[in-house]
Amino acid sequence: MEPFAIPEQPPALPVAKTYIYKTVGEILIPINVYLPKALGVACPIMLFIHGGGWLGRSRSDYCRPLFQHFLSLGFIVTSIDYR
């Protein structure tokens, strides 16, 4: 058996702030917002829409390395749910 190293886990994401961006009937549809450490006056925004084909998954099923990359570049990262 070949030795191998377990990949290092990326750093934890900042705590998301959750907002309701849409209400359909009685269904509340949320968005998570992650802010970079160095929040500037004007920051670009990355909008992440998870896969799932309206059958499963959620805005909390994120790709942490992708989010960390954009946060490190000064982006505000958002992840939405949809109906």
Residue 65: inside a domain, yes or no? yes
Residue 5: inside a domain, yes or no? no
Residue 57: inside a domain, yes or no? yes
68 vs 7, 10, 28, 37, 58, CA distance in Å? 16, 8, 27, 11, 18
CA distance 72 to 15: 15
Q: Mind listing the pLDDT tens digit of every residue in the chain (83 residues)?
A: 677 777 677 667 777 899 999 999 999 999 999 999 887 778 999 999 887 665 655 666 667 788 889 999 999 999 988 87
Residue 32: inside a domain, yes or no? yes
What's the total number of domains in the chain?
1
Residues of the domain holding 32: 17-80
pTM of the entire predicted model: 0.74
Residue 9: inside a domain, yes or no? no
CA distance 10 to 64: 7
3-state class of 31 per DSSP? strand
Residue 3: inside a domain, yes or no? no
CB count within 10 Å of CB 29 equals 14
Residue 75: inside a domain, yes or no? yes
Residue 12: inside a domain, yes or no? no
